[in-house]
Amino acid sequence: MVNLYKLDASPPTRACLIACELFNVPVQLIDVNVLDGEHLTPDLLKKNPLHTVPILEDGSLVIQDSHAILMYLADVYGKQESFYPKDPKHRALVNQKLYFNGTILFPRMRNITIPLVVEGIKEIPKKRQYLDAIEEAYGFIEEFLSRSKYLAGDNITIADIAAYPTVTSLILLLELNTQKYPKTQAWLKDLEKLPYVQKGNAKGLLDFKDIVESKLA
Residues forming the active site: 10
Query: Residue 61's beta-bridge partner residues?
Result: 58
Distance CA 89, CA 81 (A): 14
Distance CA 124, CA 104 (A): 19
The pair phi, psi for residue 25, each rounded to 5°, is -75, 130
Instruction: Please say whether the beta carbons of 111 and 133 come within 8 A.
Output: yes
Closest CA to 129 of 105, 102, 111, 115: 111
Closest CA to 29 of 215, 212, 213, 203: 203
Closest CA to 13 of 45, 49, 39, 43: 39
- Give the dihedral of Cα atoms 60, 66, 68, 73; nearest 10 deg: 70
Distance CA 64, CA 49 (A): 9
CB atoms near residue 44 (< 10 Å): 18
